Structure 1
Amino acid sequence: MKRNSFVAAVSVAVAATFSVGFVNITPKVIYGDDNRVDVYQVERADIRDVADSTVALIPTRSIVNSGNGLVKILSSQYGKEMNLCSDEPFFDQPTAANCSGSLVGDDLIATAGHCVSNADCSAYAFVFGFKMADAKTAPESLPASEVYNCKEIVAREYTSAQDYALVRLDRSVRGHRPLTLQRTPVQAGDGIYVVGHPSGLPTKFADGANVRSQQGAYFQANLDTYGGNSGSAVFNARTNEVVGILVRGASDFTYDRVRKCTMSNKCADGGCRGEDVTNISYIVDALKK
């Protein structure tokens, strides 16, 4: 994507394809410049506030009670896990999440339909605060109060056109505010950004994107996203309102046969297929029921 001035520093890129227990997450890709940065690098307080309402969907088996009100997040080193080339950004960061989500009610999370299952909504914990504190401080431990479980799936669709879910947590969320949802559909050319967990990494923010086309059930955009971003909230860059849920896109990686390692797949800013984003209207309607 085209870079803009939302961030204080530049350092980003990565991705992965995950199998999320029930279905395969469709990968995503980088368009133009790679705009993804860690939350601590974001200068704007309103964007940091939005990011604070993001959750990582982490397998419950990867969360261990450490005592003293803390939990340990079991993770792997991203670069080694994915056989990345050594110059890939985020190489040393932990990867733990399979999907992303966002807080849209006191106890309600919006995510992608392919990220959760009606058969077993307890497979994943919904974790706030899985982010880098600075360039070297990874979220290895978190307060147990930041970890929530699924009580029920309020609404869910997973078809070729619609891919969304609304999940009720086991208790009301404290310390994070529900996001505001846009009531009108985005149009081609609208500026947007995304917050989530590409490749299961700590929270990343990526701006500078635009809507390519509005398809009714979903829209296409040139967002810098990857597997693990599925379920991420996509925002109106002007109002910070949620306009959609990231669900699928182009391939994450290419293989460097000379170096024998994996590197980020990149497309021209207006190239490749684009990323598909379910319109937030489905969540708006589900919240009314």
Structure 2
Amino acid sequence: MKRNSFVAALSVAVAATFSVGFVNITPKVIYGEDNRVDVYQVQRSDIREIADSTVALIPKSSLVPGAEGKIKIHAKIYGKQMNLCSSEPFFDQPAAANCSGSLVGEDLIATAGHCISSSDCAKYAFVFGYRMIDERRAPLSVAEEDVYSCKEIVAREYTREQDYALVRLDRPVRGHRVLTLQTTPVEAGDDIYVVGHPSGLPTKIADGAKVRSQNGAYFQANLDTYGGNSGSAVFNARTNEVVGILVRGAQDFVYDRENKCTVSNRCSDEGCRGEDVTNISYIVKALQQ
């Protein structure tokens, strides 16, 4: 993909010195240039505000009450956990999230259907603000008020084509804005970007992507996403409206036999199968019921 337009050239260069991972059942991949960047690198205030409405789905077993109203997050180091080559981006960052989600109502989160169900609703925390503070400081804890629980599953489908869930939280969200949803489907060639937690990492933003095809239930695109991005909101790059939910894609990693470590799977912008994104219309309908 083209260079990330949300950051300065220097910021992109810094971003290329890290990488993180958490295995998920629906892998993704890098297309062209790796456009993933941390929130602190983004120059545009509107994009940072959108990222502030993203949640990480983290097992409650990984969260421990801390001092002064903080919740500690226990996470493994991405590069070591995945036996990555040292050249992989975000190698030293922590990986805590299983999936991603976004705020679409006062107390409602949109995510992927395979990320959560009624049987494991109580097992996950929905955490705002799981992001890098700067180049070196990782989110080892978050404010207690930014940690929410699942109250109920309002709507959910997980089939071959449809993969989405609408989750009601235990209380209304404060300090984060509700995202705007696009009411018309995207078309081939539309410019898009994604915000979420690739491989369980702190929040990443990746732009420079395009819609490849529209299939009705979902569309395909060349987004730079990984397992952990499942449930991530995908945005119209022109309007910043949510157009879909990232759900599946090509293989994340391949093994480097010469160096005996793992590296990101890379495809051309037009190559590989593409990433599948559930159309946001399913969430729009669920919100109207």
Q: Which TM-score bucket, shorter chain as reference?
A: over 0.9
The amino acid of 2:107's aligned partner reads: D
- Find the counterpart in structure 1 of residue 120 from structure 2: 120
The amino acid of 2:229's aligned partner reads: N
- Find the counterpart in structure 2 of residue 186 from structure 1: 186
Write the distance in 1 (CA, Å) between the matches of 2:4 and 2:80: 31
Write the distance in 1 (CA, Å) between the matches of 2:284 and 2:5: 31
- Find the counterpart in structure 2 of residue 89 from structure 1: 89
The answer to whether the Cα contact below 8 Å between 1:252 and 1:264 also exists between their aligned partners in 2 is yes
Write the distance in 1 (CA, Å) between the matches of 2:59 and 2:154: 20
The amino acid of 2:233's aligned partner reads: A
Q: CA deviation at 1:123?
A: 1.1
Write the distance in 2 (CA, Å) between the matches of 1:41 and 1:274: 26
- Find the counterpart in structure 1 of residue 65 from structure 2: 65
- Find the counterpart in structure 1 of residue 207 from structure 2: 207
Q: CA deviation at 1:18?
A: 2.5
- Find the counterpart in structure 2 of residue 155 from structure 1: 155
Q: Which runs of 5+ in 2 are unaligned?
A: none
The answer to whether the Cα contact below 8 Å between 2:20 and 2:78 also exists between their aligned partners in 1 is no
- Structure 1 residues 223 and 146 mapped into 2: Cα distance closer, same or farther (>3 Å)? same
The amino acid of 2:23's aligned partner reads: F
TM-score, normalization by structure 1: 0.96
The answer to whether the Cα contact below 8 Å between 1:248 and 1:276 also exists between their aligned partners in 2 is yes
Write the distance in 2 (CA, Å) between the matches of 1:66 and 1:17: 24
RMSD after superposition: 1.0
Q: CA deviation at 1:120?
A: 2.5
Question: What SS class does the counterpart of residue 193 from structure 2 fall into?
Answer: strand
- Find the counterpart in structure 2 of residue 18 from structure 1: 23
Question: What SS class does the counterpart of residue 121 from structure 1 fall into?
Answer: helix
Write the distance in 2 (CA, Å) between the matches of 1:153 and 1:178: 18
Write the distance in 1 (CA, Å) between the matches of 2:134 and 2:198: 18
Matches within 5 A, 1:1-289: 1-8=1-8, 9-10=11-12, 11-12=15-16, 14=19, 16=21, 18-19=23-24, 25-289=25-289
The amino acid of 2:50's aligned partner reads: V
Write the distance in 2 (CA, Å) between the matches of 1:52 and 1:73: 18
Q: CA deviation at 1:119?
A: 1.6
The answer to whether the Cα contact below 8 Å between 1:17 and 1:252 also exists between their aligned partners in 2 is no
The amino acid of 1:18's aligned partner reads: V
The amino acid of 2:188's aligned partner reads: A
Write the distance in 2 (CA, Å) between the matches of 1:169 and 1:18: 25
**Between Structure 1 and Structure 2, how many residues are aligned?**
284
The amino acid of 1:218's aligned partner reads: Y
Q: CA deviation at 1:68?
A: 1.9
Q: CA deviation at 1:17?
A: 5.8
Query: Following superposition, which runs of at least 4 residues in structure 1 exceed 2 angstroms of deviation?
Result: 12-19
Q: CA deviation at 1:67?
A: 3.1
Q: What is the percent sequence identity of the aligned residues?
A: 75
